[in-house]
Amino acid sequence: MFRSIFFTAFVAISAVVASPAVVDSTGGQRTCGTVPTDAEVARMEAHFAANKVTPKSDAAAVGPVPVYFHVIYANTTLSGGYVPDSQITNQISVMNTAYASVPLSWSLVGTTRTLNADWFNNVGPGTSQQTAMKTALRQGGANALNVYTVGFKSGAGAGLLGYSTFPSDYAGNPTDDGTVILYSSLPGGTSSPYNLGQTLTHEAGHWVGLYHTFQGGCSGSGDSVSDTPAEASAAFGCPTGRDTCSTAGVDPIHNFMDYTDDSCMNQFTAGQATRLKSQIATYRGIS
């Protein structure tokens, strides 16, 4: 039933993209395309440290962040990517629940629908189809989340669940800013066990400046958040008690920034909340 995990499904591109887990409707494992190297993380963290804006307060609510949804479809059936408005509305609700503890809110301000089988099939990190899609469709400024739903059928994006840019990528390439996800990962979609909407929660996590909880493995500064225990590698399913590093704490398998099943994910930590608020205050003018 399981496909191999596409940890190599990212390519070097100018922006650092975070690779979430890869999956498709045949039942693969979560694969995210936003996978920065330790060197890329070090470069981003140095820039962040030198330019950091401190948010108003830890308790202050942030948002709503305007969200533009761009539905790319191959035909007007569900399998062709033509997702109903109800799934998009439900996706925003899932995100608002997930980010309620931060607290950060999201608000849908527009939906576009584009018939383009080439984009539906072949958009992926670094592809010409991605550039054409984002150039044609991206709306708003640094503070606006643009979400593109595609099929990830082949090429650099084959098998991905999604990928995203980081806040610090924005200045160098505003048009590239945003998040691309598998259409069937929306709530009620067909990509079980990744069909409760937590793929966009995870990808939006990169978009607000969070790394994977397993970034850097057991050593070093990991995901640059102190209250997410270090984790040697991505966790799949919902492996209660998994403990892959000798440092304190079991693996954060319930964290939205791991690779576990949607039903297993339910947490951002206080440290992640502090970090993401500072990231979006610094790079997106959101505070």
Query: What amino acid positions are annotated as catalytic residues?
Result: 203
User: Using an 8 Å Cβ cutoff, are 200 and 150 in contact?
Assistant: no
Contact of residue 33 among Zn ion, ligand NAG, none (CB under 5-8 Å per partner type)? none
Contacted entry of Zn ion, ligand NAG, none for residue 20, CB cut-off 5 to 8 Å set by kind: Zn ion
Q: How far is the CB of 79 from ligand NAG (least distance, A)?
A: 4
Which residues have C-beta within 8 Å of that of residue 50, sequence separation ≥ 6? none
Considering the complex, state which of residue 5 and residue 32 has its C-beta at the smaller distance from Zn ion: 32
- The count of residues interacting with ligand NAG (CB under 6 A) is 5
* Nearest-approach distance from CB 32 to Zn ion, in angstroms: 3
Closest CA to 113 of 94, 92, 90, 87: 87
Residue nearest to ligand NAG (CB): 80
Helix (H) or strand (E) holding 206: helix 198-207
Please list the residues that pair with 72 across neighbouring strands: 114
Alpha helix stretches (DSSP H) within 31-165: 38-51, 85-98, 117-122, 128-137
Q: Is 157 in the site for Zn ion (CB under 5 A)?
A: no
CA distance linking residue 162 with residue 158, whole number of Å: 10
Q: Is 34 in the site for Zn ion (CB under 5 A)?
A: yes
CA-based nearest residue to 152, from 259, 20, 14: 20
Smallest distance, Å, CB 118 to ligand NAG?
11
Residue 247: HSE in the Cβ half-sphere, 13 Å Cα cutoff: 15
Decide: helix, strand or coil at residue 223: coil
Residue ranges in 67-86 that form contacts with ligand NAG under rule CB under 6 A: 74-75, 77, 79-80
The stretch among 19-27, 93-101, 185-193, 231-239 that binds Zn ion (CB under 5 A) is 19-27
What does the binding site for Zn ion look like in residue numbers (CB under 5 A)? 18, 20, 32, 34
What does the binding site for ligand NAG look like in residue numbers (CB under 6 A)? 74-75, 77, 79-80
